């Protein structure tokens, strides 16, 4: 798996094609196959974006072989994770509406299931190592 998104591959193909006057005429088959492989290996454009503390919590819970349900409801959730899950960003005194709370759970669950996410503060992509 690479660190480029589907959009990165599309842009690379478009930039390459823009060099040709007639698209695909005379373009070597190997080049097209190379881009297909890159596209298939690329990350989705819509990776979940979560705070660093939430990502670290996911890593901890996964390494402890906890379930997603446990991680979402654990009583000893770190404060940063608790606040992200249950408060409006930037205002720790305002509770989330039910819809926003469900969206936060969905984002958490997508990061958990995919094992890959983007760190909110830095834009870094974090990938969990596959279990053996």
The total domain count for the chain is 2
State yes or no: pLDDT of 90 exceeds 70.
Answer: no
Euclidean distance between the first and final Cα of the chain, in Å?
17
34 with 77, same domain: the answer is no
Asked whether residue 120 is assigned to any structural domain, the reply reads yes
Average pLDDT over residues 12-27: 65
Closest C-alpha to 80, from 105, 110, 55: 55
Are 16 and 36 in the same domain?
yes
CA–CA separation, 39 and 37 (whole Å): 5
**Mean pLDDT in residue range 73-98:** 72
Residues 57 and 110 in one domain: yes
Across 23-33, average pLDDT: 64
Q: Does residue 1 form part of some domain?
A: no
Q: The tokens of 18 are what?
A: 């823009």
One domain for residues 98 and 119: yes
| 91 belongs to a structural domain | yes
pTM: 0.70
Which residues span the domain enclosing 36?
Answer: 6-41
Q: Are residues 37 and 55 in the same domain?
A: no
């Amino acid at each position: 798996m690479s660190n480029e998104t589907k959009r990165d591959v599309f842009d690379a193909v478009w930039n390459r094609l823009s060099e040709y006057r007639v698209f695909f005429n005379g373009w070597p088959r190997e080049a097209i196959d190379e881009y297909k492989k890159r596209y298939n290996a690329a990350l989705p454009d819509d990776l979940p974006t979560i705070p660093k503390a939430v990502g670290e919590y996911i890593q901890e819970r996964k390494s402890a072989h906890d379930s997603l349900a446990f991680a979402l409801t654990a009583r000893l959730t770190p404060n940063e994770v608790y606040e992200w899950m249950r408060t409006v960003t930037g205002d720790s005194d305002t509770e989330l509406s039910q819809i926003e709370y469900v969206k936060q759970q969905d984002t958490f669950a997508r990061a958990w299931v995919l094992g890959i996410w983007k760190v909110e503060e830095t834009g870094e992509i974090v990938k969990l190592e596959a279990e053996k």
